Amino acid sequence: MILFLKKNTSDTQVENLVKWFDDMGIESHLSKGKFQTVLGLVGDTSAVDISLIEGLEIVETVKRIQEPFKNSNRKFHPDDTVVNVGDAKIGGKFFQIIAGPCSVESEEQICSIAKQVKEAGATLLRGGAFKPRTSPYAFQGLRAEGIELLLKAKQHTGLPIVTEIMDLSHLDLFADVDVIQVGARNMQNFELLKQLGKTDKPILLKRGLASTLEELLMSAEYIMAGGNENVILCERGIRTFETYTRNTLDISAIPLLKELSHLPIIVDPSHATGLSKLVRPLSLASVAGGADGLIIEVHNNPQCALCDGPQSITPEAFGDVVSEISPFLKLLGKEGLGGLV
C-alpha cells in the first residue's frame, strides 16, 4: 500500500504517522519526491483499512499495490484449483453441468428430472429446498423435506447434489449434501461464510446482484480463511438499467476471474436473464468465454414449476444445449460431462 501525503504535511505529522503504523506492526518506508511525499507500507497489509487511511487529514490518496484477497489469488497459487465432487471434477480442464429444477416439489418430480438430466450429460443435480423469495407470501420451498428428496434422487441416480443454504441454523441439515450453494443475496452474509469455511464441503458461491468481482473474491476469502479451499465461483448476472432481461450476464467476469484467481468459475444462464429462451445462446457463449461449468434450471413441466417458471427449460431442450456445447468443449480441450467430452 502506498500513501500519497498532502503537500503541506509537516515533518512531525509524518513522524507521527510512521509511528502509528509502527505501533500496528506495519513497517513503512518514506520517499520524498519533488512533487509528492510517498509512504510505502511493507509486508502484509490486507488487514489495513484503506478507507480509514484515506480519511487521515494528511493523506491525499492511497494506492493499493496488492489485491486484498490472498487465498483466492492466482499470484500465490498459479495452478487452477480443481474441485472434486464425487466423481465430478470442476476446474482446470474439467467442465461439468449442474442441472435440475428450481424447487424440489415431490419425490417423483426430482427423481424423474434427475434421471433425465443425467442421461443428457449433467453430472450434478441441483434443486431448491430452502427458497429465498422476495415475497413472504410466496412458496418458500419444502425445506428439510426437500433435502431428503434430493438425497433420494441421489440414491437413484448417483448424482451428487447441490442445494442452497439460507441460514446458519440449518447447517446440520446439509450434512449429506455434496455442494452447499450460497445464493446471490447471501454473498455477503459473512457469519455464514465464516462457518462454511470451517466445513470441508465444496461451496458454490454466487456473485451478488450488485457485487464487484473484488467483493466476490473477498467473500471467497472469508470461506478460504477458515480452511475450506473448495470454493466454486458463479457468475449469475448483475443488476443494470436494461429491462428486457431480469439481470445482465457479465460475460467478462469469466476471463477476469480466471486471471485474478485460481478458483473454478461456472455460469448460471437461467437466472442471468430470467428468460429460458436465452439459456441456449448464453450457455454457448459462457463455454466459449472459458467457463468451467454451467448450472441450468431444468423442469419436466415448465408450466407447473412452483417458482421461477420462465427460467426453466425442459429436459429435451437441456439435452439439445448439451449437444450443442459438446463440440465447443472439445475444441477448447475440455473434459467432463461424465465422459461425454
With CB under 8 A as the contact rule, which of the stretches 82-90, 113-121, 133-141, 152-160 interacts with a second copy?
133-141
Half-sphere exposure of 63 (CA within 13 A, CB side): 7
Q: Count the neighbouring beta carbons within 10 Å of the beta carbon of residue 12.
A: 8
Q: Which is nearer to a second copy, 64 or 156 (CB)?
A: 64
- For residue 306, state whether it binds a second copy (rule: CB under 8 A): yes
Burial of 18 from C-beta contacts in 10 A (0-12 / 13-18 / 19+): middle
Distance in angstroms (rounded) separating the CA atoms of residues 126 and 60: 50
Enumerate residues 207-226 that contact a second copy by CB under 8 A. 208-210, 212-215, 218, 221-222, 225
Q: Which is nearer to a second copy, 57 or 79 (CB)?
A: 57
Site string for a second copy, 313-332 (x = CB under 8 A): --------------xx--x-
- Give the C-alpha distances (Å, rounded to integers) separating 63 from 15, 59, 128, 160, 172: 20, 11, 43, 44, 43
Report the Cα–Cα distance between both ends of the chain, in Å, rounded.
45
Minimum distance of a second copy from residue 214's CB (angstroms): 7
Burial of 22 from C-beta contacts in 10 A (0-12 / 13-18 / 19+): exposed
Distance in angstroms (rounded) separating the CA atoms of residues 203 and 197: 9
- For residue 231, state whether it binds a second copy (rule: CB under 8 A): no
Distance in angstroms (rounded) separating the CA atoms of residues 248 and 221: 25
Minimum distance of a second copy from residue 237's CB (angstroms): 9
Q: Which is nearer to a second copy, 13 or 158 (CB)?
A: 13
Minimum distance of a second copy from residue 87's CB (angstroms): 28
Q: Which is nearer to a second copy, 100 or 197 (CB)?
A: 197
Name which position in 180, 282, 329, 337 contacts a second copy (CB under 8 A). 282
Burial of 161 from C-beta contacts in 10 A (0-12 / 13-18 / 19+): buried
φ, ψ for residue 62 (rounded to 5)?
A: -130, 140
Minimum distance of a second copy from residue 145's CB (angstroms): 17
Name which position in 10, 25, 200, 241 contacts a second copy (CB under 8 A). 241
213, containing H or E segment: helix 213-225
Identify any residues that bridge with 38 across adjacent strands, giving them in sequence order: 4, 31
Q: What is the DSSP letter of 263?
A: S
Sequence-ordered list of residues with C-beta below 8 angstroms from that of 188, at least 6 positions apart, any chain: 208, 211, 215, 219
Enumerate residues 57-116 that contact a second copy by CB under 8 A. 57, 61, 63, 65, 68
Distance in angstroms (rounded) separating the CA atoms of residues 133 and 183: 12
Site string for a second copy, 29-68 (x = CB under 8 A): x-x-xxxx-x-x-x---xx-x-xxxxxxx---x-x-x--x
Number of residues that bind a second copy (CB under 8 A): 103
With CB under 8 A as the contact rule, which of the stretches 78-86, 120-128, 250-258, 315-323 interacts with a second copy?
250-258
- For residue 22, state whether it binds a second copy (rule: CB under 8 A): no
Minimum distance of a second copy from residue 138's CB (angstroms): 6
Q: Which is nearer to a second copy, 36 or 155 (CB)?
A: 36
Site string for a second copy, 164-183 (x = CB under 8 A): --xxxxx-------------
